[in-house]
């Protein structure tokens, strides 16, 4: 039986990419800088794989170059960026799930589908569509309150925009998804540490606040309606 969350999870977890590199610069001892036309969602302290070995990213220039800790031979042809982590649930459930992962590498970068998720199921006989799923999603990287908004755009929002771009490429060519229309996005700097007031009245000087999601994250809030074709109601291809 088709399940939207499982299908979206499959798309996100398939987003591992191999990208060519050039102009490998071994000038600084213990560091290597190379050019690449795609930096994907690489950020400082993130791990990438080059020629089977894991290297920590020290710096990057979006879609231009990456600097890693370690020395390459100088002939390596490409690097690999891993797929984002995937989470789903209500904001409270997400906070619990993310909080249980003590190592940030086990949860960031991530794509999170906010629930409850609204779906409209088409029960008309002979119709192409099985359902239309209204998705609200967060595409997130580490956020830092100590950084300025401008720095957060360079270190988190722009790399996350690359992630959204690759996600949209996937769903636009997916054979089980009908023609798409509009998607909406909002840049969210330090989204996880954004605070909002509680609604109920408080006594003077009791201005209580709560975190929306208890994580230091920045990135993009995203929404889209995805029309799934009826054939995917049974992925064993025996659907009628």
3-class secondary structure, 164: helix
Where are the chain's structural domains?
A: 4-13+84-233, 17-81
Residues 158-182 pLDDT 10s: 999 999 999 999 999 999 999 999 9
Q: So what's the architecture of 17-81 in CATH?
A: Beta Barrel (2.40)
- pTM (predicted TM-score): 0.86
Could you tell me which of 34, 16, 17 has the C-alpha nearest to residue 25? 34
| Whether 64 contacts 8, CB under 8 Å | no
3-class secondary structure, 240: coil
C-alpha 101/C-alpha 96 separation (Å) is: 9
Q: So what's the architecture of 4-13+84-233 in CATH?
A: 2-Layer Sandwich (3.30)
Residues 132-147 pLDDT 10s: 999 999 999 998 877 8
Residues 9-49 pLDDT 10s: 999 999 999 999 999 998 889 999 999 999 999 999 999 99
Half-sphere exposure of 157 toward its Cβ, with a 13 Å CA cutoff? 16
* Residue whose structure tokens are 């636009």: 172
C-alpha 186/C-alpha 223 separation (Å) is: 9
* Residue whose structure tokens are 């609204």: 118
Task: From residue 239, give the alpha-carbon distance in Å to each of 1, 38, 163, 229.
Answer: 10, 39, 33, 11
């Amino acid at each position: 039986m088709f399940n939207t969350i499982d299908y979206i999870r499959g798309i996100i977890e398939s987003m591992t990419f191999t990208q060519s590199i050039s102009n490998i610069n071994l000038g600084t001892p213990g560091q290597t800088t190379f050019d690449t036309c795609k930096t994907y969602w690489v950020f400082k302290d993130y791990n990438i794989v080059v020629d089977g070995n894991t290297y920590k990213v020290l710096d990057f220039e979006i879609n231009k170059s990456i600097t890693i800790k370690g020395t390459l031979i100088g002939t390596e042809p490409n690097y690999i960026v891993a797929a984002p982590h995937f989470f789903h649930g209500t904001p409270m459930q997400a906070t619990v799930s993310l909080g249980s992962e003590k190592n940030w590498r086990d949860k960031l970068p991530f794509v999170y589908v906010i629930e409850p998720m609204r779906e409209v199921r088409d029960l008309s006989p002979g119709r192409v569509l099985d359902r239309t799923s209204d998705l609200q999603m967060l595409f997130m990287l580490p956020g830092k309150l100590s950084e300025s908004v401008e720095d957060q755009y360079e270190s988190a929002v722009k790399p996350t925009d690359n992630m959204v771009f690759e996600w949209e490429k996937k769903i636009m060519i997916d054979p089980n998804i009908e023609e798409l229309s509009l998607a909406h996005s909002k840049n969210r700097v330090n989204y996880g540490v954004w605070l909002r007031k509680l609604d109920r009245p408080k006594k003077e000087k009791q201005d209580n606040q709560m975190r929306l999601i208890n994580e230091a994250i920045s990135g993009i809030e995203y929404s889209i309606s995805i029309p799934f074709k009826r054939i995917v109601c049974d992925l064993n291809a025996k659907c009628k």
